[in-house]
Structure 1
Amino acid sequence: MIVRKNISIDQCYVDKLKPFLEKNNGNLSAAIRDTIETASLTLDGRTGENGENSSGKVSQNAEYRNGLIEEEEFLLVHHTLLEWLINNTSGLLIDESTVYEIINPYKIKRISDVVSYMNSLNEKMSWKIKVDVEYSQGPEPETASLTLSNGNSCFREIMAHSLALYLAKQMKLDVQGLFCKSNVTKVYFKRFEFLDFQKVPNGLEEHFGSMESTFREIQKKPEFWKNLIKTYRQHNYQRLSVQRNTFEAFVSGDLPSMAELRRNFELITGKPPAAFTLAEHIIIFKEIYLTDSIGSDIEICTEKGREYVKLIHDYSDRKVCDSLTKYYSNVFKSINYSFKVTTNPNMILFEFGKSPVSDDDFLE
């Protein structure tokens, strides 16, 4: 029989229900039922769903945590401070050795064992996070997915990061996708072959270490980067950032050669122009154009058969506009795609065709 009652409770008690509200997706009635059940188990010393004495288990977990603190292996940290630390180091990779302090690679070698261990650790640490895994059969799974549910979203992020690094280094499973919601974090993995064990797999770096290389560069030359950022801010980012040989060519009244443009492209992408589709070239060009800051804005379309690039600039001198048109025409011709170029005040439009151009048509 369902009994309906209207109750009034202070906000402080609602705050204490937060873990149960998160577990039940904000359903207050369900949260209160879980709270009553938990209190009943604790007071009566009855067993939970897994047949273990809940009250005794709570005490055991508390003793476990206290023991780690006394041994100075763990520290008590306010959750707000820990959230701040996690949020402000997002994009930086955890050191491999740090992860191995948590998950011993000599003892834990299977995915199922990793998940069981992390769930046990979560319970002992009271992080209230549940880890589930699905993976293809076989001694070396080709694919896998981790689902981390409930608990604090910041704690889930750091746990997903740690598990992803462990699976990448120990089981050759790189991150293929990462999806985060208010109460769930999902990570998808796919097998890959390590070419260099000292390097971080691309997927792991993309999804969990996007700021890693930037941070390392700042550490190498902190004064340079501080001064550069200060200068850009003072000039409201109205500064150019072009390669030295491109600058030299413009100053001399010439344009970079086709060979030079191709070399520059390979230095930036690590691959020759032929390795990319037209749509990929357009996306790469957009990133370079906005970074160089030669123009003020860009509009692109990568839909097959309708590809175009529209460059927006604020130059009024005719010679400057002509030089820009020739320069960017050479850039696009260096990737062997034909196009039609149209110029208007403060705008250069490149509309691409389907047949490649020959070197004889290049603008010099």
Structure 2
Amino acid sequence: MIRKNISLYEEDMKKIGRIVEKNEGNLSAAMREIIDFVDFMLRKFGSLEEAKKLERRTKGVCLPRGMLNWFLTYTSECLLDEDAAGSIEEICAIESVSDLAEIAGIGLPVDIKVDADDDRNPSAVTIRLTGERAHTEFVAKIIACFLAENHGLAVEDVFRHTAFTTLKMKREGEGKRESEGDYKKVRDSLIKHFGERHIMVQEILNKPRFWNAMIKATAEWGDVERYKYPRIYR
């Protein structure tokens, strides 16, 4: 048994109060339990920072991999709306372009590297995202929508590779959406590079009965049946 003297502030005692109470006021037993817990967390997560990332993820919804892939497939080439983007804590906390790397904290295994001409008021930004193609595509879309909305940047180009995606954006006009023409250029660039199905999907969502009837009337009957009764066509 090793005996050591430690100094604790009143605030520290409040933090461990429940564990001390659990151990019937035995501070030594409480400290041993805390040490066991810290050892477990370090072996599982490696650091407090990594454990905090997990805590942020559990505020949302944990999806099985198959369900996540389904979600990414069916939202592909559709832009985020303002409510969806505003619900992401990592987005709301961004104060500078370099903070964009924090978006990796939403739970997707994507590494983000940011290069900008100005951290606070950029006119040109290049972002490299490394990870699975579907994951980097989704995160790149989130970043593009954020930079377009908050800094008036248009998508200049997107380079897509198996292991990484590179996003290049630049400012249209002299300031944040300086004119209606600049706004249209920014919006059109998002639709071109990340939202080819966006207008179509919005139209279908607004008029589901009309488009459902239209598709049934014009599509090949076999295709309609395949979507209605997929099990039969396995």
- TM-score of the pair, normalised by structure 2: 0.63
- One-letter identity of the residue aligned with 2:145: L
2:126 to 134, 145, 169: 145
1:133 to 88, 111, 114: 114
Choose between structure 1 and 2: higher helix proportion. Answer: 2
Q: 1:55 to 1:171 in 2, by over 3 A?
A: farther
Which ranges of structure 1 fall in alignment gaps of 5 or more residues?
1-44, 46-53, 237-364
**1:96, 1:165 within 8 Å by CA — same for their partners in 2?**
no
Task: Tell me what 1:225 maps to.
Answer: 211
**2:86, 2:92 within 8 Å by CA — same for their partners in 1?**
no
Q: Percent identity?
A: 23
Q: 1:80 to 1:62 in 2, by over 3 A?
A: farther
Aligned residues: 177
1:201 to 183, 187, 201: 187
Task: Tell me what 2:28 maps to.
Answer: none
Alignment of 1:44-193 (within 5 A): 55=43, 57-58=45-46, 60=48, 63-64=51-52, 67-68=55-56, 73-103=59-89, 107-115=93-101, 117-119=102-104, 121=105, 125=107, 127-137=108-118, 140-149=121-130, 151-193=131-173
Give me the whole-angstrom Cα distance separating, in 1, the residues matched to 2:59 and 2:96. 25
Q: 1:138 to 1:78 in 2, by over 3 A?
A: closer
Higher relative contact order (Cα pairs below 8 Å, separated by 6+ residues) = 2
Give me the whole-angstrom Cα distance separating, in 1, the residues matched to 2:51 and 2:93. 24
Moved more, 130-139 or 211-220: 130-139
Alignment of 1:333-344 (within 5 A): none
Whichever of the two has the greater Rg, that structure is 1
- One-letter identity of the residue aligned with 1:110: S
Which ranges of structure 2 fall in alignment gaps of 5 or more residues?
1-38, 223-234
Alignment of 1:25-44 (within 5 A): none
Moved more, 223-232 or 154-163: 223-232
- One-letter identity of the residue aligned with 1:202: D
Q: 1:131 to 1:65 in 2, by over 3 A?
A: closer
Give me the whole-angstrom Cα distance separating, in 2, the residues matched to 1:138 and 1:159. 19
- CA shift, 1:66, in A, is 5.5
**1:105, 1:170 within 8 Å by CA — same for their partners in 2?**
no
